[in-house]
Every structure is written in structure tokens, then in C-alpha cells.
Amino acid sequence: QHEEALAARSKDNLRSPICCILGHVDTGKTKLLDKIRQTNVQEGEAGGITQQIGATYFPKEALVKKTAVVNKDDSFIFNVPGLLVIDTPGHESFTNLRSRGSSLCNIAILVIDIMHGLEPQTLESMRLLRERRTPFIVALNKIDRLLDWKKIDNNGFEDSLSLQKDRVKREFEDRWNFVHTQLQEQGFNSELFYKNKNMSRYVSVVPTSAHTGEGIPDMLKLIIKLTQERMTTNLMYLSEVECTVLEVKVIEGLGTTIDVVLSNGVLHEGDRIVLCGNPEPIATNIRALLTPAEMKELRVKSQYVHNKEVKAAMGIKIAADGLDSAIAGSRLLVVGPDDDEDDLLDEVMGDLAHLLSKVSKTGRGVSVQASTLGSLEALLEFLRVSKIPVATISIGPVYKKDVLRAGIMLEKAPEYAVMLCFDVKVDKDAQAYANEIGVKIFEADIIYHLFDKFTSHMKQLEEKKKEDSKMLAVFPCILNPVAVFNKKDPIVVGVDVVEGNLKMTTPIAAIKKNPVTGVKEIIDLGRVTSIERDHKQIQVCKKGQPSVAVKIEGPNQPLYGRHLEEKDTLYSHISRESIDTLKKYFRTDVSQDEWKLIVHLKKEFDIL
């Protein structure tokens, strides 16, 4: 039996690769999928394309037909039995197609609108693809929108392009060059698929139209070429089951079911399975392995067909007891006769535990909540790179208990009393409670939007602190009085700024030696409430600028002529606290010379 298994594990016996479609909203992901699925009426039924749960399966025969127009001499040989395309385009399914942190998606199509170029979610998709090291091609979609494009339905791209007017060809070149440069800026070398001599170094770009079907034959051929040439080891059959939960759904009559992608191995009705649950792991038996019924079978009551066993790659719905707390993105393992179920339970829970191990050891950080294990993992990776500390993580909708937990930060580190919620619902009571206690809830379905919201939150806090600490910050200066206009309440003196900058609200002091005791005495005059030159208010007077009239106000002012004399040098009254404030909030506003002056003033004021 072992030899049989080994023989089966060869390059001539590959399983079907799994393909995901990613890209910015409205680039045409859904339309492209529809177009690929569509059977070609003239050529009759395109051979056994099957609708699975959450995926569409294209057997080899269908692929051969769909690529015929760009494989006229049949020189391109298909080594894979077919292609499994995940039906829900976007991040969610991609991030959930995961196993031990790597991706079960063998190849991805990144759709870019040729009229728009790279857009925010395009960048996010590229980040995910890079993180998971998933090979991808770019579909440069909507070529039919180039002005004056003459279509030939479902044609190969090169042929269609060659038939266009020069002006159209030029517009294509310009737009493609623009996207090429944008990809370059993101660190990706790219090349049009028919010019690409090195698929491991250059991302292949296929121009497509989901409306006319042009370029789609090229795209399909390229996906197969790339997978069977470069990823055969990933596509070899394993006896071991490799399976991931894409969605958890309640279905009438079946209870809670899980939609899974079986990427390797075989599943049987009755198999004992384990998967990650929230908070407890789940062990149960497969009650039914379901695939959609075809139209003609819909007469029978159920929409589903029951299967005794299914073989990878396949999208299926599993009905079983105890699936209520299943987490999308979880791995699914089969308990074999020699396996210890507890070990396997530990293993599946290990995925969540692994994410938990990534939270901040100091206990200071934001709270993160996501809909699935996959998106949580992607979000945590992003926050790690962005250096935003995370204190707690959770999966599923936000309830009051989650807000309560995030609220712990209000005491510890109020700036982190923030919940970053990715693609999850926030319960009304939870939101109300958050408003009441002052926990901020940020929601988004694009990861970096959460980053933007958090960053602007931090900036606002910083601005507020800066504002609050303005009175504490003292910029250094030394003043030489040249005239006393008013001796007290308020003091008004004409001064020259001999060092530093004189600013509004600066506290001013004189330092005198007591003639009797010889002890240094600091005489506080108050704060600067007005700076005037030629009867005009100014905010700052810098060293060396013409004299200014300064009004100084404060309680218990000294009297010029008694406590003070015109010749007494005046200083900005700095303190330990004022220096710390400058360092914390105004570091970039203080010049090198001003720091030197601070050192000098520290001595004058005997600050340690």
C-alpha cells in the first residue's frame, strides 16, 4: 500500500491547483469569474464545469476548449486534471485558505483596472500575496474601454491587439507602461505575459476584458502553465488531509455547517474530524459531505447531493454536530486510527494560540477583533510591521465583554483604549458602552484603513497633549532691559533679546545675589502677555532683532526700583519639568542653539 501511495505521488499524477481572485473593488473580479464560467454556446457544453461549494471546478477538457484559440497547434500540454477557482473573490477567502501560516491558494489572479492602475486594495492584495509567498499573475482588465477598441469575442489578446488602430495600440502602451511603473514602485518587476522570459523574476501581466472575453484564454493558459511548471511539488497528492474552513453558515434543516476547501487528501462520510473553535476546540463526526445539486437534480427535495467520499481539490459543505463555535480560517484534521485525538485538538488550537503568543508582553496595546482566523492573522502581521502594539485579540462580533476588556487600557495606557475591528459587526449595546466609558472603536474592511484611523487618533492625542503642555514648555531666552515703561501690575519693559527666542506666555525671572547674605535669589516677574514692536503685536522676538516692548503679568509682582533694577538681566524661567516637556513634545521645535542655551540656563537656575 505504501508503494502504491509513493507511485501515486508523482509529477504525472497531480491534483488540481487552487486559484483565488484578488483586487480592488469594481476592477471586474466577479465579472471575470462569470466570464470564465460561461460556457461557449457555439462550441456546445464546455465539458463538465462543476459548481461546488464556494468554488467552481474546471476539468481539463473545459480548460482545453477555453484555451484553444491561443493553443492552435496543441503544443501546450495540460498536466493537471483541472483547476479549482474560489468563487468569492477578495481578501477574505484568500486569507482563510491557510495552513500553518502558509497559503493553500496555489496561484492568484490580481485584477487591476487598466483605466485606474493601482488602487488601495490592490496594494493590500499585493502585501498579502507577498506575505504568504503566493505566486500570482496580473489581469489588466477592461481593455475594451480603451477608446475605439474593436473587439473579437473571447479572442487571444495578442491577436486582438494586432488588429487595433495605431492610436489604440499607443493608448494601450501608455496605460500599461504606467501600471508597469506603479508595480515597480511596489517592488514588483512585471512583464506582458508573451514577453516574459522568466516567470520566477517577473510577474506576468495579461490584458483582459471581462465583457468581451478577450485575453481570458491567455489568462487560463498562463495560470496552468505557471502552476504546472513551477509548483508541481505542491500539487502532488498527499495521503494526509489538508483542509480549511472558508465559511461557517447556518442552513435550515442542517444546523451550523462549515464550507471547506479540501486541498489535499480524501474525506469520507463518518470521518472523525477536529477543528478550531472559539473558545473550545471541536471534535465531531462528518454527518454529510455535501455538494450542490445540478439543475436537473433539483426536483429532489434537497439542494445538496450527499457524497460518500470526496477527493482534493474540492469545495464542500460539511454537516456535523457541534459546529456552532467553528472559526473560519481554521484547519480541519481527520483523526486516523493511530492518532491521539487530544494531540490533534492541541494542534488545531495551536493556530489560535500562535496568534495569542504574538500579543504584547507588556500588556499594553490595542484590542484587535476580526471575523476569521485568516483575517486576524493578516491584521496582526500588518500591525506588527506598523509597530502598533496589540494587547488582546478576539474573533467574531464585538460585544460588551470585548469593550470591557479593551477598557482595561483606560487605566494602563489610555491611548491604547482602542478597538481595531476588521470586517466584524459591532453590537449596539457594545458601541453605546464604548462611548460611555471612552473606548474608541474603529471599524474597516480594508486593513490599512484601520491603520490610518489609529494613526490619526494617536496624532490627535499628541496634538492635545502638546496643547495642554504649552504652558509647561519654556523656550530659553536671555533679555537685556533697555527701558522700564511701567514698574508693576503689569510690568512693561523695553528689552533686547540677547540669546534665544522670546515667546508669548514665557515665564520671566531675574537672578540676584542678596547683598547681605550673598545667596542667589530668583525673582519671578510673571508671564509674557504681550510683545510689541512699533505698536504692533508680534508672537516671537528672536535674538538680535530690534528691541521690543514686553508686558509681563502675574501675581505678587516685584516692583522696579525696589526689588529690581533696570540693569538686571532677565531670563526665561526654565525648570526640570519645562525641559522634560520640551523633550517630549517639542523636540523638533527646539534648535541646537536653544538646547545649548538651556544647558547654560540650567546652571543659572541651579537645576540638576
Q: Shortest gap between Cβ of 502 and ligand GDP (angstroms)?
A: 59
Residues 239, 265: contact at Cβ < 8 Å?
Answer: yes
Minimum distance from residue 423 beta carbon to ligand GDP (Å): 16
Cβ-based nearer residue to ligand GDP, 66 or 142: 142
Closer Cβ to ligand GDP, 219 or 419, answer by number: 219
Least Å distance between CB 280 and ligand GDP?
A: 37
Pairing outcome for strands 55-59 and 82-86: antiparallel
Closest CB to ligand GDP among 145 and 249? 145
Nearer to ligand GDP, 147 or 519 (CB): 147
Q: Identify which of residues 36 and 267 has a Cβ nearer to ligand GDP in the complex.
A: 36
Q: What is the 3-state secondary structure (H, E, C) of 261-317?
A: EEEECEEECCCEEEECECCCCEEEECCEEEEECCHHHHHCCCCEEEECEEECCEEEE
CB closer to ligand GDP, 30 vs 480? 30
Which of 159, 129, 142 lies closest to 35, judged by CA? 142
Crossing angle for the helix pair 29-37 and 216-230, nearest 10 degrees?
90
In whole angstroms, the minimum distance from the beta carbon of 444 to ligand GDP comes to 17
Pick from 319, 350, 584: nearest CA to 472: 584
User: Considering only CA atoms, which of 283, 284, 251, 276 is closest in space to residue 395?
Assistant: 276
Q: In angstroms, what is the minimal distance from the CB of 144 to ligand GDP?
A: 5
CB 379 within 8 A of CB 447: yes
Q: Rounded to the nearest whole angstrom, what is the least distance from the CB of residue 398 to ligand GDP in the complex?
A: 26
CB of 115 to ligand GDP, least distance (A): 9
Report the residue closest to ligand GDP, judged by CB. 28
Smallest separation, CB 421 to ligand GDP (Å)? 22
* Amino acid identity at 188: F
Q: Which is nearer to ligand GDP, 110 or 434 (CB)?
A: 110
How far is residue 369's CA from residue 421's CA, in Å, rounded to a whole number? Answer: 5
Q: Own/partner pairs for 544-550, CB < 8 Å, 24+ apart?
A: 544/497, 545/497, 547/482, 547/494, 547/495, 547/496, 548/494, 548/495, 548/497, 548/502, 549/485, 549/492, 549/493, 549/494, 550/479, 550/492, 550/493, 550/494, 550/495, 550/502, 550/508
The answer to whether 109 touches 21, Cβ cutoff 8 Å, is yes
Nine-digit cell string for 312: 482534493
Per DSSP, the three-state class of 465 is: helix
- Minimum gap (Å) between residue 300 Cβ and ligand GDP: 33
Name which of 54 and 89 has its Cβ closer to ligand GDP.
89
Nearest to ligand GDP of 179, 323 (CB atom): 179
Residue 342 CB, shortest distance to ligand GDP, in Å, is: 43
Can you tell me the distance from the alpha carbon of 193 to that of 203, in angstroms, rounded to the nearest whole number? Answer: 8
500: left (phi over 0), alpha (psi -120 to 50) or beta: left
Which stretches of 71-115 are assigned E, i.e. beta strand? 82-86, 98-99, 102-103, 107-113
Calpha distance 180→183 (Å, rounded): 5
Query: Which residue's CB is nearer to ligand GDP, number 120 or number 279?
Result: 120
Minimum CB distance to ligand GDP, residue 143 (Å): 7
Question: Least separation, in Å, of the C-beta of 313 and ligand GDP?
Answer: 23
113/499 with CB nearer ligand GDP: 113
Q: Give the CB-side neighbour count of residue 353, counting CA atoms within 13 A.
A: 9
CB-nearer residue toward ligand GDP: 5 or 25: 25
Which residues are at the interface with ligand GDP (CB under 6 A)? 23, 25-31, 89, 141-142, 144-145, 209-211
The identity of residue 238, as a single letter, is L
Give the pairing of strands 440-444 and 418-422.
parallel
Q: CB 387: neighbour CB atoms within 10 A?
A: 6
